[in-house]
A and B are shown apart, each in its own frame.
Chain A
Amino acid sequence: MTSVKQTGESDRQLLKRYHEGGDPAARELLVERHLPLVRSLARRYAGRGEALEDIEQVGAIGLIKAIDRYELSREVALTTYATPNVVGEIKRHFRDKGWAIRVPRALQELNGKMGPTIERLTSRLGRSPSIAEIAAEFQTSTEQVLEALEAGSAYAPLSLSAGPSGDDELDPMETIGSDDAEYDRTEDRASLEPALAALPEREREILRMRFEDGLTQTQIAERVGISQMHVSRLIRRSLERMRTQLT
């Protein structure tokens, strides 16, 4: 078998062979050569409810699409062109298939509209809307609204915008109170503090705003620039993660 590294051909030469000569072997060589890039990008999205191998496979589809769509007139390197394609494919996969359980499409759609509608109603009413008010806005039943909200819980919440490592940097928040000598055993039992440092910075900040500053989810959403429902999901996910880490 020909080793990819031993072909001696550059990406550009292989792309020419594939696009101008229709040589499928050249395409295969390009895919094989750039699979480490796919693996590296896929690792960023590991631990979010999908097996790494599955994410790699999805990323590989993005790579193949990039190779197929590459225009030889471009002066850009294949890796530069392929990276956003691979990441885009992975993100699409999570967006479309990130439901932990099978949820009817109608409920998925209603859930998708829920966040903006709740925000709009909150702004209009000057307070968080009731279930009945949300139902009236959608011209549906309160049961449907509750089911759609619950359908959102079936979705594996993803912080796709969070970087793979940059968010793990330490910040002063994580040291607050951690050296309190008066902490006794029972207080330790209820403390989530030791796991706080492992959270991405944005999520630590959201927890601080909610539980330290006492801001409402709506206020946090305004400050951070995300929806209230997203704030809710991030808080839940963070607390669950911290608890899992401590048990």
Chain B
Amino acid sequence: MPSDRIELTAPVGQAWEAVIRMVLGGIADRLDLGFDQLDDLQLAVERLLAEGDPQNPITLSFEIHDNGVRTRIGPLRDAALAEALQGPEPPPGVLTLPRILSTVVDSYGVEEVADGKLVVRLEKLVRTQ
């Protein structure tokens, strides 16, 4: 079954984060995600939004399927960050963005899209009881 898809392009900045959180809330409701899962997904997205280029809009896409939601966010403003996200696990006790993402989503990765731009892919799965 093809997944439903929502795409949203927004200016970078806290003023628009509420809109994005509401979209995530609606998706979480549709998928029957727990409140904690919604909160985790929102946190992951907020952290990545903070890494967007304030001079350019950021695009988010959400693919909603039976098992969860796949989110893509980008482009990132800093290639070094994308490299770090693809690098090895940070040593224990060190707080990094990769550690935060690996805690709050089921998996993540970096993808190259048109013009060599980099986006981050987040997977959040519906928890099975």
Contacts and interface: CB of A to CB of B under 8 A. Distances in A.
B87 A187 contact: yes
Interface residues of A, number: 43
Given A150-B21, A189-B84, A128 B94 contact: no
A37 interface: no
Interface residues of B, number: 41
A217 B104 CA distance: 11
Contacts, number: 112
Given A128-B36, A177-B94, A185 B18 contact: no
Contacts of A210: 103
A196 interface: yes
Nearest to A100: B14
Interface string A140-182: 0010001101100110000000000000000000001100100
Contacts of B11: none
B29 A187 contact: no
Given A129-B35, A176-B93, A236-B46, A149 B80 contact: no
Interface of A: 118, 127-132, 134, 142, 146-147, 149-150, 153-154, 176-177, 180, 185-187, 189-193, 196, 207, 210-212, 214, 216-218, 228, 232, 235-236, 239-240, 242-243
Interface of B: 17-18, 21-22, 25-26, 28-29, 32-39, 43, 46-47, 50, 78, 80-81, 83-85, 87, 90-100, 103, 127, 129
